[in-house]
Amino acid sequence: MINKRDKKVTRQSNKLMLGLILTAALAISFVGCGKKTAAKDNEPIKIGILQLIDQTALTDARKGFEAELAAAGYKGKKIKIDYVNAQGDQSNLRTMSEKLKKDQNVVNLALATPAAQALQKVDPDTPMVFTAITDPKEAGLTTNLKQPDTNATGVTDNVSMKLQIKFLHHLLPKAQTVGIIYNAAESNSLTQVKEAEKELKQLGIKVKKLTVATTNDVDQATRSMAKKVDAIYLPTDNTMAAAMVTVGKISRKTKVPVIPGASTMVRDGGVANEGLDYEKLGRQTAKLAIKIIKGQQVSDLPVEQPKDITIIKNEKMMQALGISDDQLE
């Protein structure tokens, strides 16, 4: 016969057993969670890259970006980069932007203004860093450079136009008429052309302008312009940059020097410029991306200006056009 005391002891034993079971279950649950977190921590950092077109400046910037990530330890199995190139096609930009959005990357890199605009329109939430963009505010990517108010920050390629035109005038003091060729569909170029025209006119230099829609138009436009001017200035225009080899051949044949805005454009057919190194620009941009990967907010990362400005020259073109090193001093 079981007395009241035995029943009480039994109830207490059952409660104790139930408590032990619950404790064990919770312990197993926590262990499971720990394993899940560890697995997530070991997953590669996913980064998307959208490049507008195949041209040297953008490719150099991308390579610099990837090299800086690798230098910071984001390489091998620690990183997964999804690189897509729109080949200058607007419809491709949208399709590729949608793909990068679906990938749910930690951060995306946009190379050139149209790429950044397309990616931000499709995906205004995923953090984005940009480069090879002259005026992020004019492009509508942010309204505040010091404290970005969208998902985008980055490094501009905005080298002082006054500095560039001053360099052109110093190198070619006898040039009375300067031509400018650009793609009017690029807001990046419109800003630069406006500033360049202003600076040239202040020096008393006449300006002639021609626009191109694609690289297929560059040959005819350059030949036509070379007949009317003493020199040609090219902004950091993606269409012109992609066709610099063609521009260089015409420059050599007509003896009309071309002063481009980007160092890579000098290398591919220009004479010289006071500009920036796009590989270094890409590295500078990667440092912003790394801060985002480590948890910083875009709003805490001001848009940066390029840090390294230097004189770049194409010695073969200088020799072909009879321009000496003394003229650079």
**Quick one: 128 and 200 in the same domain?**
no
- 9 falls within a domain: no
Amino acid at 63: K
Residue 298 and residue 242 in one domain: no
My answer on whether 101 and 213 are in the same domain is no
Angstrom distance (rounded) from CA 183 to CA 112: 13
pLDDT by 10-residue block (mean), the chain, 329 residues? 48 51 43 33 91 94 98 97 95 97 97 97 98 94 97 95 95 97 93 96 98 97 98 95 97 98 92 91 98 98 92 95 90
What gap in Å lies between CA 303 and CA 143, rounded to an integer? 11
CA dihedral 66, 71, 72, 76 (to 10 degrees): 70
Domain that includes residue 230, residue range: 161-275+311-328
In a domain, 29, yes or no: no
Residues 105 and 194 in one domain: no
Residue (of 283, 311, 54) closest to 159 by Cα position: 311
Query: Using CA atoms, how far apart are residues 165 and 53, in angstroms rounded to an integer?
Result: 27
Say yes or no: 247 and 111 in one domain. Answer: no
Q: Classify residue 21: in a domain, yes or no.
A: no
Domain-located, residue 295: yes
**pLDDT for residue 324:** 92
73, 149: one domain = yes
Residue 2: inside a domain: no
Residues 49 and 143 in one domain: yes
Same domain, 133 and 175: no
28 part of a folded domain: no
Number of domains in the chain: 2
Residue pair 251/218 in contact (Cβ under 8 Å)? The answer is no
**80: Cα separation from own chain's centroid:** 18
Write down the pLDDT at residue 20.
47
Q: What is the pLDDT of residue 112?
A: 95
Same domain, 136 and 243: no
Q: Per DSSP, which regions of the chain are E strands?
A: 45-51, 79-85, 107-111, 128-133, 152-156, 177-182, 206-211, 231-234, 258-260, 272-276, 309-313
Domain for residue 38, yes or no? no
Q: What is residue 42's predicted lDDT score, i.e. its pLDDT?
A: 77
Q: Do both 151 and 167 map to the same domain?
A: no
Pair 223, 92 in one domain: no
How far, in whole angstroms, is CA 253 from its chain's centroid?
34
> pLDDT value at position 329?
78
Q: Please check whether residue 30 lies inside any domain of the structure.
A: no
- Residues 303, 271 share a domain: no
CATH number for the domain spanning 123: value is 3.40.50.2300
273: alpha, beta or left? (left if phi > 0; alpha if psi -120 to 50): beta
